[in-house]
Amino acid sequence: MTAIVKPGADLDSVLDQAVRLVWTSKLNPLESIVVDVTDEQDPKRFASKRLSPKKAEDKTELECKYGPRPK
């Protein structure tokens, strides 16, 4: 998922919300989560997150932060 945001937007907040939306969705199977957020006026200002829910450490991080995946 790629998001382009308005200048001055809180990149980390957008990144966090995008990851939350994917994690709490009913997408199945969910092999990986890749989110990139870029400032529309300053492409050098960006944030990225890559997670693999099949990896124990990533799954633990996601469950601690957003709760279990829906069934």
Tell me the whole-structure pTM to 2 decimals.
Answer: 0.90
Q: Which helix (H) or strand (E) holds 46?
A: strand 46-51
Residue 55 lies in a domain: yes
* Residue 59, token pair as written in the block: 């799954």
Residue 27 lies in a domain: yes
- CA dist., res. 37 & res. 15, Å (int): 6
Give me the chain's average pLDDT, please: 95
- For Cα atoms 24, 44, 62, give the angle at the middle one, nearest 5 degrees: 20
Q: Which domain holds residue 34?
A: 2-66
Count the domains in the chain. 1
Q: Distances in Å between the alpha carbon of 18 and those of 22, 47, 50, 64? A: 6, 12, 12, 16
At 1, the pLDDT band (50, 70, 90 cuts) reads confident
Indicate whether 71 belongs to any domain. no
Residue 34 resides in a domain? yes
What is the chain's length? 71
Query: Residue 39: inside a domain, yes or no?
Result: yes
**Would you say residue 35 lies in a domain?**
yes
